[in-house]
Amino acid sequence: MFEIKNITMIYDMEKEEKVYALGGFDLKLPDKGLVGIIGPSGSGKSTLMYCLSSLKTPTAGEIIYNGKEITTLKEQEREKLRREEFGFVFQRHFLVPYMNSLANVTVAAKGKGEEVIKRAETLLKSLGLGEKEMKKRPGKLSGGQRQRVAIARAMMNAPKVLFADEPTAALDHENAFAVMDILKEYAKENLVLVITHDHSILKDADVLVEMWDGMVSSVKEGGV
Amino acid sequence: MRQKLSAMNYIRNNKRRAAVLIVSLALYLVIVYMTQFILSSGTESFKKILVEDTKKMQMVQLPYSAFGIDPDVLGEEQTREADMKAVDTLMKRLREEDGVKTVQKVQGLGVTIYAMIGQYHFSFPIGDEAFLKTYMEHMGATLKEGELPDAPGELILSDGIMKNSGLTLGQKLSDEAFQIVGIAESDSYFGSGIQVQNRGYSKSVCILSDGSIEDVGAMLRKMGYEFSDNEADIWDYQTGYEEYEDVFAEVETPANIVFKGVMIVMAIMLFLVYTTMLRDRHGEWCLYCSIGYGRKAVYLSILREMLFYFAVAVVAGTVLTAVGMVAVDAFLISPMGLACNYTDVAVIGEIVCGYAVVFVLLQLPIRFALQKIRTVDAMEEDLY
């Protein structure tokens, strides 16, 4: 699904000491499955995810998604791609404070009406949120609950690729594994990219990409 | 596939904030339109007297000099005789003029119409019984209550004058020589009666015309009478319209102050409230842009929200104004016998312009907020 060729991302281009967030590497990702990207802070994990999801344009290199080079797409085409094919779980949940959990999930749904609401409710239930929590605003939810709402929102439009940046960071181990089970289930038919520091949650990953200092240090089939 | 961001999400979940904007916008309409409505009780009422009636009835009183009479040479008695003759001649000549239906020597009786803001004093003609009937017919007035005057000092006044002055049928005026014996049905401020003798000779001439005579002064000058505007006492469409414009200008100034003051206060208030509202939504819009909704989609959703506020405000403002106008008319304007204007196109235009100004003004914080939108990747970088 993704074919990355010589991807390079340089910050502070105008400065003498350039910062290489991505140092120029090749990588191939499958059409479906759970792909874990691990590495220490500053290794370039998030930058890679943002480049793959078209939020950032790399300084050099190619990202081919389903046969299409996405780094050269116009802004509107990139927006369409993010809207229609990708789902996001960011490090911070970015929930809309004035909407309840259910509305936060349906907020950017492709359709509308009862079907959308039912799907959102099913997703929230599968992530362990009850009827009560669905009516609560983010301010009244715990950190873990907020993150689960953000995951439900990411899965709302059934994206072909789901990008998850530290999706279990705010969850206890039990909840973290429950979330990973859901992502794993979702990865059976779609591609799920999970960035994390926590090796333990990637035991079931189909592909594990390790990053170090802006480069891919290893790519392993199977989990940790 | 839906590619629009719902405008109703914010409104549904922030009813209080939405209500503040809607109420502010609606209040602008209510205050401005109600102000014009209340002020119109003066302009509309005075318009009847000064603009409409003066097309049908004119009154003129010329100075001695216009007839070539010099009181210093002739003395009091001879001056009076010469003046009466001259007035008779004037009337005879006027009857020959185009557009003149009836000419009659009359006395004038003053009346003051009090509007909610401002007042206007004018005189109505009183003559003999025959003139009264002709005059009533000419002005389209009919007897509504009481009886027609048939004795000196008896008056018939329209409902409007009666209500405005708080008079009742049978009541005597402060000048006890006059008593109200009849109430007339009339669209205007009609008044007339039978003149009282021994009140000096009447030299005022009343002309009942077909509506084509607008400038009696010009007509008299054309007939050869020479006089200055200050010396002559002329009541016609020309002078009436000038006075109406003066009255209108007097009313227009406070009205404009209210209109502009309300608009400035509203614009500042909305600007502040709206800017605060937008600031609170920065994260939300950054999220939308990150998950594939561009700035344009965000802007269009804001625009739809705003149009909703304006639409609801206009509907609510119109309903409130309509109810307010009916109430003010029923409890204040009609009991005072005043007229009013429910539909003022010029003020509606001002309100539309006011809304347009506010709409454009609110684009500034929106543009500023849109420029500040970044996708989540840029926001995450700020954390490090």
Looking at residue B191, its pLDDT comes to: 95
Q: Do residues A159 and A81 touch, judged by C-beta distance below 8 A? A: no
Looking at residue A223, its pLDDT comes to: 54
pLDDT band at B383 (very low <50, low <70, confident <90, very high): very low
Which residue in the set A56, A76, A83 is minimally distant from B291, CB to CB? Answer: A83
Place of tokens 């922030």: B14
**Cα A30 to Cα B339: distance, rounded to the nearest angstrom:** 82
B318 CB burial (10 A radius; 0-12, 13-18, 19+): middle
Q: Which of residues 20-59 of A touch B (CB under 8 A)?
A: 46, 50, 55-56
pTM: 0.80
* pLDDT score of B29 more than 70: yes
Please indicate if any CB of chain A lies within 8 Å of the CB of B369.
no
Partner-chain contact A55 B377, CB within 8 Å: yes
Place of tokens 């929102």: A153
Instruction: Classify strands A161-165 and A215-221 as parallel, antiparallel or unpaired.
Output: unpaired
Partner-chain contact A55 B1, CB within 8 Å: no
* pLDDT score of B102 more than 50: yes
pLDDT band at B258 (very low <50, low <70, confident <90, very high): confident
Place of tokens 């006011």: B354
Q: What is the pLDDT averaged over residues B315-341?
A: 95
Looking at residue A200, its pLDDT comes to: 86
**Cα B19 to Cα B152: distance, rounded to the nearest angstrom:** 65
| Domain assignments of chain B as residue spans, ordered by start | 8-47+245-383, 52-237
* pLDDT score of B113 more than 60: yes
Looking at residue B12, its pLDDT comes to: 87
Please indicate if any CB of chain A lies within 8 Å of the CB of B14.
yes
Partner-chain contact B284 A76, CB within 8 Å: no
Question: How many angstroms away from the CA of B366 is the closest CA of chain A?
Answer: 18
Instruction: Please state, for a pLDDT cut of 90, what percent of chain A lies above it.
Output: 51
For helices B15-47 and B237-279, the axis angle rounded to 10 degrees is 180
Question: How many angstroms away from the CA of A222 is the closest CA of chain B?
Answer: 29
DSSP string across A27-46: EEE-SSEEEEEE--TTSSHH
Please indicate if any CB of chain A lies within 8 Å of the CB of B360.
no
Q: Is the sign of the CA dihedral B220, B221, B223, B227 positive or negative?
A: positive
Residues in chain B, total: 384
Q: Which residues contact A197 (CB under 8 A, 6 or more apart)?
A: A38, A40, A41, A166
Q: What is the pLDDT averaged over residues A125-129?
A: 88
Place of tokens 């009836």: B102
How does pLDDT run across A79-98, given as a tens digit for each residue?
Answer: 999 988 999 998 777 899 99
Looking at residue B320, its pLDDT comes to: 97
Tokens coding A182: 């859901």
Residues of A in contact with B375 (CB under 8 A): 55
Which of B95-99, B167-171, B260-264 comes out lowest in average pLDDT?
Answer: B260-264
Q: What is the pLDDT averaged over residues B42-62?
A: 92
Nearest-10 Cα torsion for A98, A103, A107, A110: -170
**Cα B312 to Cα B301: distance, rounded to the nearest angstrom:** 17
Mean pLDDT of chain B: 90
Q: What is the pLDDT averaged over residues B127-156?
A: 95
How does pLDDT run across A30-56, given as a tens digit for each residue?
Answer: 999 999 999 988 889 989 999 999 998
Looking at residue B267, its pLDDT comes to: 85
Q: What is the pLDDT averaged over residues B238-260?
A: 86
Q: What is the pLDDT averaged over residues B177-183?
A: 94
* pLDDT score of B75 more than 90: no
Which of the 8 DSSP states describes residue B312?
A: H
How does pLDDT run across A153-212, given as a tens digit for each residue?
Answer: 999 999 999 999 988 887 788 878 888 888 898 999 999 999 988 888 888 899 999 999
Looking at residue A224, its pLDDT comes to: 53
Please indicate if any CB of chain B lies within 8 Å of the CB of A88.
yes
Nearest-10 Cα torsion for A127, A128, A134, A140: -110
Please indicate if any CB of chain B lies within 8 Å of the CB of A79.
yes
Q: Which of residues 278-297 of B touch A (CB under 8 A)?
A: 280, 283-284, 286-294
Looking at residue B201, its pLDDT comes to: 67
* pLDDT score of B197 more than 60: yes
Q: Do residues B338 and B164 touch, judged by C-beta distance below 8 A? A: yes
Which of the 8 DSSP states describes residue B101?
A: E
Residues of A in contact with B380 (CB under 8 A): 46, 90-92
Mean pLDDT of chain A: 88
Looking at residue B176, its pLDDT comes to: 79
* pLDDT score of B300 more than 60: yes
Looking at residue B200, its pLDDT comes to: 65
pLDDT band at B1 (very low <50, low <70, confident <90, very high): very low
How does pLDDT run across B208-236, given as a tens digit for each residue?
Answer: 999 999 999 999 999 999 999 888 999 99
pLDDT band at B340 (very low <50, low <70, confident <90, very high): very high
Please indicate if any CB of chain B lies within 8 Å of the CB of A64.
no
Please indicate if any CB of chain B lies within 8 Å of the CB of A19.
no
Looking at residue B3, its pLDDT comes to: 62
Q: Do residues A32 and A183 touch, judged by C-beta distance below 8 A? A: no
Q: What is the pLDDT averaged over residues B341-345?
A: 93
* pLDDT score of B248 more than 60: yes
Chain A residue with minimum CA distance to B280:
A97
Tokens coding A68: 């299409």
* pLDDT score of B361 more than 60: yes
Please indicate if any CB of chain B lies within 8 Å of the CB of A112.
yes
Which of the 8 DSSP states describes residue B6?
A: P
Whole-Å CA distances, B334 to B72, B139, B169, B279, B325? 52, 21, 18, 49, 11
Tokens coding B193: 């009666």
DSSP string across A129-192: --HHHHTS-GGGS-HHHHHHHHHHHHHTT--SEEEEESTTTTS-HHHHHHHHHHHHHHTTTSEE
